[in-house]
Amino acid sequence: MAEWMHEHRPDVTWWCPQLPPSPAEAIALVEQGIAAWPRKTMAVVGSSLGGFYASVVAERTGCAAVVLNPAVDPARYLAKHIGEQTAWHDPDAHFFFRAEFIDELRALAPAALTRPERYMAVIAKGDELLDWREMSARHDGARMQLLEGGDHALSDFPQLMPQVLVFLHLA
């Protein structure tokens, strides 16, 4: 998506920071980075835990969000992953997921989506990590792209990207 944005929409600010392991620090970094952005025209996109973070940001700012196989209850999912972890995008990069991060996730969790029509949820029934039924229920009322099969990484995202771009008013 970054490549497409740089090539086709250089007029749009694209920002995709590497977030720290601490959920509180991650949201603080994002909020600092978007502090001056216009809420009516900005949008967030996130996958998995990033989908959770996108929901946090969308609920706090009122902006649009695209969530891709979003973690609905990351505190529950990640509680069993306390300790040293490997970054999924770089097997040489390690970080320590601390027990207090679970409480940070709980503190960040929006109670509900206040305006689901601001969301587009792309959910793969074949997600091997997260339950598609839980993701779908959480995003009831959102524009939903429910995929038969697929995987957590949304390996077929290039075919889905045109719909995402239309939802975001970028194409």
Q: Across the chain, what does the average pLDDT equal?
A: 93
Contact 144, 68 (CB under 8 A): no
Contacts of 41 (CB under 8 A, 6+ apart): none
DSSP for 82-102, please give it.
-EEEEETTEEEEEEEE-THHH
pLDDT at residue number 33 = 97
pLDDT band of residue 84 (cuts 50, 70, 90) is: confident
Contact 1, 161 (CB under 8 A): yes
Q: With both helix axes pointing from N to C terminus, report the angle between 49-61 and 100-108 in degrees, rounded to the nearest 10.
A: 40
pLDDT, one tens digit per residue, over 96-145 is 677 898 999 999 999 899 999 999 999 999 999 999 999 999 999 999 99
pLDDT at residue number 121 = 98
DSSP for 13-41, please give it.
----PPPPSSHHHHHHHHHHHTTTS-TTT
Could you give all domains of the chain from N- to C-terminal order, each with its CATH number? 2-7+21-167 (3.40.50.1820)
* pLDDT exceeds cutoff 70 at 88: no
pTM, two decimals, is 0.93
Q: What is the mean pLDDT of residues 54-80?
A: 95
pLDDT, one tens digit per residue, over 149-164 is 999 999 999 999 999 9
pLDDT at residue number 97 = 77
